[in-house]
Amino acid sequence: MAQKSIIEVSTKSKTDWIDITKAVQEQVESSGIKEGIAVVYVPHTTAGITINEHADPAVVADINDKLADLIPADRSYSHTEGNSDGHIKASLIGTSQTIFISNKELELGTWQGIFFCEFDGPRNRKVYVKVLGN
Amino acid sequence: MAQKSIIEVSTKSKTDWIDITKAVQEQVESSGIKEGIAVVYVPHTTAGITINEHADPAVVADINDKLADLIPADRSYSHTEGNSDGHIKASLIGTSQTIFISNKELELGTWQGIFFCEFDGPRNRKVYVKVLGN
Amino acid sequence: MAQKSIIEVSTKSKTDWIDITKAVQEQVESSGIKEGIAVVYVPHTTAGITINEHADPAVVADINDKLADLIPADRSYSHTEGNSDGHIKASLIGTSQTIFISNKELELGTWQGIFFCEFDGPRNRKVYVKVLGN
Contact B128 C59 (CB under 8 A): no
Architecture of domain B2-133: Sandwich (2.60)
Of A87-91, B1-5, B94-98, C26-30, give the lowest mean pLDDT range: B1-5
> What pLDDT digit, counting tens, does each position of C42-69 carry?
999 999 999 999 999 999 999 999 999 9
Q: For chain B, how big is the Rg over CA atoms in Å?
A: 15
User: What is the Cα C113 distance to its own chain's centre?
Assistant: 10
Q: For residue C117, count other CB atoms closer than 10 A to its CB.
A: 26
How far apart, in Å, do the first and last CA atoms of chain B sit? 6
Contact A88 B134 (CB under 8 A): no
Torsion of CA B80, B86, B91, B95, to 10 degrees: -120
Contact C97 B98 (CB under 8 A): no
Judge whether residue B1 has pLDDT over 90: no
Helix (H, G, I), strand (E, B) or coil at C105: strand
pLDDT value at residue C74: 85
Judge whether residue A40 has pLDDT over 90: yes
Question: Per residue in A14-38, is it b (16+ CB within 10 Å) or e — as a string?
Answer: bbbbbebbebbbebbeebebeebbb
> Which residues, in sequence order, are CB contacts of A132 under 8 Å at separation 6+?
A1, A2, A33, A36, A37, A38, A39, B36, B37, B132, C132
Specify the amino acid at residue C23: A
CA B98 – CA B28 distance, rounded (Å): 13
> What pLDDT digit, counting tens, does each position of C5-56 carry?
999 999 999 999 999 999 999 999 999 999 999 999 999 999 999 999 999 9
Strands lying side by side in the sheet with B47-53: B16-19, B112-118, B47-53
Q: What was the ipTM of the complex prediction?
A: 0.97
Scanning A46-75 for CB atoms below 8 A from B yields 70-71, 75
The C-alpha of B63 sits at a distance from chain A's nearest C-alpha, in angstroms, of 5
pLDDT value at residue C45: 98
Torsion of CA C42, C48, C50, C56, to 10 degrees: -120
The C-alpha of C97 sits at a distance from chain B's nearest C-alpha, in angstroms, of 8
Judge whether residue A74 has pLDDT over 90: no
Q: Nearest-CA residue of chain B relative to C106?
A: B43
> Which residues, in sequence order, are CB contacts of A69 under 8 Å at separation 6+?
none
Please indicate if any CB of chain A lies within 8 Å of the CB of C42: yes
Please indicate if any CB of chain C lies within 8 Å of the CB of A97: yes
CA A97 – CA C131 distance, rounded (Å): 16
Judge whether residue A24 has pLDDT over 90: yes
Judge whether residue B77 has pLDDT over 90: yes
Q: Nearest-CA residue of chain B relative to A89?
A: B63
Specify the amino acid at residue A46: T
Do C134 and C1 touch, CB atoms closer than 8 A?
Answer: yes
How far apart, in Å, do the first and last CA atoms of chain C sit? 6
Please indicate if any CB of chain C lies within 8 Å of the CB of B6: no
| Residues on chain C touching B94 (C-beta within 8 angstroms) | 94
Half-sphere exposure of C42 (CA within 13 A, CB side): 30
Judge whether residue A1 has pLDDT over 90: no
> Which residues, in sequence order, are CB contacts of C22 under 8 Å at separation 6+?
none
Contact B79 C62 (CB under 8 A): yes
CA C94 – CA C96 distance, rounded (Å): 6
Helix, strand, coil tally for chain B in percent (to 5): 25, 40, 35
Query: Beta B47-53 vs C47-53: how paired, if at all?
Result: unpaired
- Report the percentage of chain A scoring pLDDT > 90: 96
Q: Nearest-CA residue of chain C relative to A59?
A: C79
Q: Once rounded to an integer, what is the mean pLDDT over residues C88-93?
A: 98
What ranges do the domains of chain B cover?
A: 2-133
| Residues on chain B touching A80 (C-beta within 8 angstroms) | 58
For chain B, the average pLDDT equals 97
Q: How confident is the model at residue C1 (pLDDT cuts 50, 70, 90)?
A: confident
Do A131 and A7 touch, CB atoms closer than 8 A?
Answer: no
Name subunits touching A (3+ CB pairs < 8 A). B, C
> What pLDDT digit, counting tens, does each position of A83-133 carry?
999 999 999 999 999 999 999 999 999 999 999 999 999 999 999 999 999
